[in-house]
Structure 1
């Protein structure tokens, strides 16, 4: 779990320049914002209004996109702090660095409320998503944005699908940059998912404006789920067509989507081309493979798919008609891979990343995959409709057993250790603030519907529900905080694949399941199934996932803003450290955390050198620093009261004497309503500051009490009691104290050595119960060891002679067998000769896993017999020496 060192740094708090990046410049106060809450908030949906590109950050404030460089803001604040200290109250001119604006405004022709911003993987484009529209902006280079000019920069912007993503159509729920798409300064690939379960793949090209108008692949999941042939039309209904009504409109209302992988070489090959779609009632569906017309594959993708498909297809062919559906799916994968193998890779010159090959999407079996699902889990006593919000999928590790056969074993071990779990982890969030963590153990592979001409060969696989294993359901909101406007969103951790953050309207919570995943993977890969049920019960007993609250919004901001926190953003580098940042329109919220290694070393140092005082907290409580509420520095609503609330024809009457009339009464009532809301916000801000001051006094008293307790303990250590019972302070010298500390450290080292010895002993034993053969072998060895004494009897000497004769006979037989094997091998022709018995064409095809299992059994048998022979030989030599 990450350890929070401190909260919002000084360079992000007022009056530093960094605070203005996330602060609203609107003249209206938070009280006026409450009156227009319905007009501002719109419908529910994810709030991903903060994104990054290296050290650069993009944030949406007042519906305008702001850009800044956090590393530059930090350096600028440090320079200003040094100048203030050096000046020591004297007037001094600032350097050129202070003239650089804290942020730049990126002007884009977007008129709706911006809900999401998503930079492309290479940082060349920025996807801007509103409730119904999607825009693609071309981002300038960082050097161009870092100039001293503070005027807004107008970006070149294209509207994606002007006739597709429009207000009468379904709203956009997710926009995803394809992890296997070609992303260059001119090209990009983005996938959009709308609430009516329509998935569209857009392959963007700045030289071809038509690519922004029509998608290259469009699929309606409501049609695809009932499809029986790949030749059917699964395209979504066009604009303004009468779509009618069906039950799928409610059951298949999409809420979020994500790809299972990000194109890493160490993850499962099918993961980056698998799109998971979460429906609001609770069902999940998977599209695999979903690819653009031109896509890039990591170096391990095609070899791993080929290595897995070949043995599986051979094994299914031997089964015959028992596995007809699986055999048809394996043949489809074989045809799909064969078409890829026949292609000539376009190479890195086409815009692929280093080490990736570029391919064209195979035509056969089909460009549209089969819809797999629904995937469901048992939620217990909860209602049937889970009202899902967001989804996060953690891909399984790469199967290196088949891929690395005959290769460097060290590389295979490194890949396996980094990607631990071989099952798919699916995390889901709902509007009530609950996070569900599930396991999908069967895996998702590429599947397609059959062709019309081949429909008689095999039927389309039945798309029945698949059960997932519910690991745990946890709450992220306190009792009473859940609301209908809550939309918890996931943020991946940059340090661990099995850790993530959840952003709710009022807090940010960290979840970690790294330790649990490691234990579960060790059990899933165990060859001995005896006792597996008991060990799985121990692993699954208790708390699987560690949970920790990282940030909490102040009560003042919660009551004044009533807005959702933006999805968290993570940085991990030398300049910024391990930084988590999010914001409200009034204040930024940040937390500086320790990396897991640093946290562990700090905890060990505290345990060894700083023993806590019993009954007290060794570390002071940490909380976010006090930030001035926005209402205290916002402009008064009375400054613009006349322009907003008084009609133009009545403004002249304000300069005259007050007349008792209905118009005057309405004006006074409106002024009272606006002023009372503003004063109420001021009272809440002032009362919050008063409560903080009182709490600070109480904490200071507790700290002073702890300091006095520590002082008494120090006096007890450095003093002695004489014969009369009086304490003499300062009697013990530093040498005695050093000896005491050294003795404690020596005891600690001894405990660590004992622990390491026990751990190695357990690891050498295998950590599993012995089999029947192993038990019999141990009993035989014990019996044999007991038969050898210092002075054997005549019967024992005769038995030893018989055993020596048996040993000689075994050696002679082994020598004869080796000679016979060499003579037979010399007579057999080479395997490469045509027609030879050892040629691949004449031998039956045996799966690699079966071959390895048989070879492993034979090697274990040989090692066991060799150990017995060595033990007997040693005993006989010792007996002859003693005689």
Structure 2
């Protein structure tokens, strides 16, 4: 498993422009989602991030944000470097606001991303990039649009432009009368791996209808009508090859049918193009009820196979026909199937392929036409039975949400037998498992890994015969899948009601993938048992079958690791997108409704090759990691409930214009209408208060966890310091033990000596400068210097001066002054009372003949108070100076 190096970098966080790729705050309809009368969105997959190299396309509401990650990273880092050295200009406006303006940055920097306007009427659910990366399928819950992307040269010029206006691209509406809101929802849109230049799009709707669209920008009709439409409900009940399994364009019948529950499609997928056998032309479908079906061969009218596909199929079909004809015990169904496959291959052999240039480079591609014999519509294989299914799992309770199929490896050994030149194949194509691996994902986050032991091959329904001999034929054998392993990726407390877990492929290995669920992101790797199982299937080992099966069953299973934990389960995560770029590194990108989620992995410099044929693979040794190293942790984003606008004003406006508007200007009275209004208002306020309380509690818990993490880091630093002391020999037992206090005192003594040396050098420099300038001091400077010397002598005199001097300490003088002040105040009060008694002619006045003018008394009191204030300030300054000296 890769080691996480860091999480979301600075160029993807606020206030960097990269954060605006994922920011949803500009959506004006955000607050309306919390209204009680708002329409609840239909649950579905959220694949809102698509990539083309270093470019990413992020769906935000009804818009698409388009940006180049390399450009965003470099521009932000350059801006941070430039901001520390280039001066800025502060501009103030008339309303009191201001902004910091950088002239150099404003003249050279670009925005780094563009906003693409789309013609969609609802929020975008999925973005699917075409194989040649020139088309982008944009899916809502019911509609499909295809965006024509500019090439990489034009993209660079558009993204480096300083224009911030919304960018307009060419959009085509796929099936304007087929994929509409009044019809069934679209659950999957897959680009056919064998389409010519990646222009064939397969759409699967919830009502089990598969449509093939062969798109051409030169022909608008290709976006209006599919070249092939198959109703799987009709096909499941079909008996003959020549029946009509199409879909009427005006069919709107939504009557009850038992198949509406058993044939409700949840997801569909194709294996990779480089898979072997019939895998690239097999469409796998997962039904919500837990059933799995396969449709093979499903081909567009014009298709471009890989160079080894048709020869390998031809060899396997000829071998199958020979084995069936020579075996007298073979069933009529097996013989009919072998003849049908031979007719299909004969139709291909009779064709002369058309050479077409690829759009990705100067590569020629051979284009074939879909064979018409034995038929264009294959047989629907399934539902598959699950062998070795866990006993505690009931298929009726499982609700599938996604399917991911890893095709079998391409076997070219029989194809190149006897040839002088060997076919060049990559390591990934030669290594792997010769079986299809089907991975199923349920609502609860449970992953079921199944193996296609029998192998899915091309099958068609039998032709309609004039005789009735086929009426008494035996029923065909049901296909099955071997359940290899079942494990959970989500804890029971993390399961959300409307969650939709999703699979995502990995860029490092075909046998690893990501699972995005309500609890976070989980990395799953099958490499621990895939190559070992392949060696057992090939029979390379000389040990007994029982010993090998027991060893394989008890060995380590699928490796899985939770690489990211999502704290807010209510905010759904976008499907993880793996990116590996020389300028960016290896990381996984996801997003919530407001913030990105990025996990950067530590990519090793030397890749370790996986051995295929070893029976017991050694466990990989991990490099030594320092325990004190910085441990990356996910970036904490406060809940959006703290920044969300309140829905109460909108509700009040709705109340003023609704059917209860007559209650607003009236006095409040007890009635059912008033109770209804208060009940609705209470629901609105309660929802908001609950969200705010949860957000504040989460923030509080995060702050407490931060303190704990800080304490752990301090402990690790102390442990590292002790280990360093042991390495450097500071704690060696050969020397006498030195206390920590002695070490600190020695450091302080060395610092004091250094300070004295610096002070002496400074005094020497001052004297030299004084002799050079020859400038006399002014009278004010001399008076100030005398005052400073007097203050120094009175405060910072030596112990001998303090012993010989009869002058008391400043604080003692302060206490004497306080006593004198109290005495003077008491005498002043007596004089004031005596004066008041003299004015009134009172015989009780103590000094009847003494009269002091009021002005003189006020001046004396002011002088006394001024002296006291001066002494108080002096004592406070002395105390502050003494404290600083003691601390120094």
Q: Same fold (TM over 0.5)?
A: yes
Q: C-alpha offsets along residues 252-277 of structure 1, whole Å, 9 cap, x if unaligned?
A: 2111111122x22xx21311111011
* Partner Cα distance (2:38, 2:603) in 1: 41
Structure-1 residue corresponding to 2:369: 360
CA distance change for structure 1 residues 678 and 63 in 2, over 3 Å: closer, same or farther?
same
Query: Is contact 1:229-1:455 (8 Å) kept?
Result: no
Q: C-alpha offsets along residues 531-566 of structure 1, whole Å, 9 cap, x if unaligned?
A: 122222222225411111122223xx44xxx24211
Match of 2:461 among 444, 449, 473: 449
| Aligned-partner SS, 2:449 | strand
Structure-2 residue corresponding to 1:533: 546
Map 1:736-747 onto structure 2 (within 5 A).
none
CA distance change for structure 1 residues 140 and 180 in 2, over 3 Å: closer, same or farther?
same
Structure-1 residue corresponding to 2:301: 293
CA distance change for structure 1 residues 420 and 350 in 2, over 3 Å: closer, same or farther?
closer
| Aligned-partner SS, 2:72 | helix
* Partner Cα distance (2:68, 2:377) in 1: 42
Structure-2 residue corresponding to 1:15: 15
Structure-2 residue corresponding to 1:65: 64
Map 1:149-160 onto structure 2 (within 5 A).
149-160=163-174
Query: Is contact 1:370-1:448 (8 Å) kept?
Result: yes
Q: C-alpha offsets along residues 499-525 of structure 1, whole Å, 9 cap, x if unaligned?
A: 000111231111001121111111111
Give the deviation of 1:427 after TM superposition: 0.3
Give the deviation of 1:294 after TM superposition: 0.6
Structure-2 residue corresponding to 1:574: 582
Match of 2:188 among 168, 171, 174: 174
Structure-1 residue corresponding to 2:2: 2
Structure-1 residue corresponding to 2:113: 103
* Partner Cα distance (2:621, 2:84) in 1: 34
- What's the TM-score, normalizing by structure 1? 0.73
Give the deviation of 1:306 after TM superposition: 1.4
Structure-1 residue corresponding to 2:816: none
Structure-2 residue corresponding to 1:117: 127
Query: Is contact 2:726-2:732 (8 Å) kept?
Result: no
Give the deviation of 1:625 after TM superposition: 1.9
CA distance change for structure 1 residues 646 and 80 in 2, over 3 Å: closer, same or farther?
farther
Match of 2:270 among 231, 239, 259: 259
CA distance change for structure 1 residues 669 and 598 in 2, over 3 Å: closer, same or farther?
farther
Match of 2:230 among 204, 219, 225: 219
Q: Which moved more, 1:430-439 or 1:675-684?
A: 675-684
Give the deviation of 1:191 after TM superposition: 0.9
CA distance change for structure 1 residues 395 and 93 in 2, over 3 Å: closer, same or farther?
same
Give the deviation of 1:686 after TM superposition: 4.0
Give the deviation of 1:453 after TM superposition: 4.6
Give the deviation of 1:22 after TM superposition: 0.7
Query: Is contact 1:229-1:451 (8 Å) kept?
Result: yes
CA distance change for structure 1 residues 484 and 674 in 2, over 3 Å: closer, same or farther?
closer
Q: Which moved more, 1:424-433 or 1:351-360?
A: 351-360
Q: C-alpha offsets along residues 373-424 of structure 1, whole Å, 9 cap, x if unaligned?
A: 2212124212222211100000000112211213468757855774311111
Tell me the matched-pair count: 710
* Partner Cα distance (1:305, 1:498) in 2: 24
Map 1:673-822 onto structure 2 (within 5 A).
678=688, 681-719=691-729
Structure-1 residue corresponding to 2:46: 47
| Aligned-partner SS, 1:80 | helix
Alpha-carbon RMSD: 3.7
Q: Looking at CA atoms only, which structure, 1 or 2, has the larger radius of gyration?
A: 2
Query: Is contact 1:374-1:466 (8 Å) kept?
Result: yes
1:424 aligns with 2:444: no
Query: Is contact 2:358-2:365 (8 Å) kept?
Result: no
* Partner Cα distance (2:482, 2:26) in 1: 49
Give the deviation of 1:76 after TM superposition: 1.8
* Partner Cα distance (2:675, 2:231) in 1: 57
* Partner Cα distance (2:698, 2:30) in 1: 16
CA distance change for structure 1 residues 17 and 97 in 2, over 3 Å: closer, same or farther?
farther
* Partner Cα distance (1:114, 1:391) in 2: 21
Structure-2 residue corresponding to 1:35: 35
* Partner Cα distance (1:11, 1:475) in 2: 34
| Aligned-partner SS, 1:41 | coil
Q: C-alpha offsets along residues 593-616 of structure 1, whole Å, 9 cap, x if unaligned?
A: 134666979x99997766x6xxxx
Give the deviation of 1:467 after TM superposition: 2.1
1:334 aligns with 2:342: yes
Structure-2 residue corresponding to 1:162: 176
Give the deviation of 1:702 after TM superposition: 2.0
Q: C-alpha offsets along residues 215-241 of structure 1, whole Å, 9 cap, x if unaligned?
A: 111111222223222111111344245
Structure-1 residue corresponding to 2:143: 133
* Partner Cα distance (2:309, 2:338) in 1: 17
1:371 aligns with 2:384: no
| Aligned-partner SS, 2:138 | strand
Give the deviation of 1:314 after TM superposition: 1.9
Query: Is contact 1:46-1:489 (8 Å) kept?
Result: yes
CA distance change for structure 1 residues 191 and 36 in 2, over 3 Å: closer, same or farther?
farther
| Aligned-partner SS, 2:85 | helix
CA distance change for structure 1 residues 112 and 573 in 2, over 3 Å: closer, same or farther?
same
Give the deviation of 1:120 after TM superposition: 2.0
Q: C-alpha offsets along residues 150-186 of structure 1, whole Å, 9 cap, x if unaligned?
A: 22234433332233223333221111111111237xx
Query: Is contact 1:307-1:403 (8 Å) kept?
Result: yes
Give the deviation of 1:318 after TM superposition: 1.4
CA distance change for structure 1 residues 479 and 538 in 2, over 3 Å: closer, same or farther?
same
CA distance change for structure 1 residues 356 and 590 in 2, over 3 Å: closer, same or farther?
same
1:523 aligns with 2:528: no
* Partner Cα distance (1:676, 1:723) in 2: 68
| Aligned-partner SS, 1:46 | coil
Give the deviation of 1:464 after TM superposition: 4.0
Higher relative contact order (CA 8 A, sep 6+): 1
Query: Is contact 2:25-2:594 (8 Å) kept?
Result: no
Match of 2:415 among 403, 417, 421: 403
Structure-1 residue corresponding to 2:328: 320
Give the deviation of 1:19 after TM superposition: 0.9
Structure-1 residue corresponding to 2:451: 439
* Partner Cα distance (1:204, 1:163) in 2: 16
Query: Is contact 1:135-1:159 (8 Å) kept?
Result: yes
* Partner Cα distance (2:169, 2:442) in 1: 36
- Where does the alignment leave 5 or more consecutive residues of structure 2 unmatched? 91-101, 610-617, 740-888
| Aligned-partner SS, 2:578 | strand
CA distance change for structure 1 residues 379 and 47 in 2, over 3 Å: closer, same or farther?
farther
* Partner Cα distance (2:415, 2:494) in 1: 49
Map 1:167-246 onto structure 2 (within 5 A).
167-183=181-197, 188-240=199-251, 242=253, 244-246=255-257
* Partner Cα distance (2:699, 2:67) in 1: 31
Give the deviation of 1:31 after TM superposition: 7.0
CA distance change for structure 1 residues 668 and 727 in 2, over 3 Å: closer, same or farther?
same
CA distance change for structure 1 residues 400 and 38 in 2, over 3 Å: closer, same or farther?
farther
Match of 2:260 among 243, 249, 254: 249
* Partner Cα distance (1:302, 1:505) in 2: 42
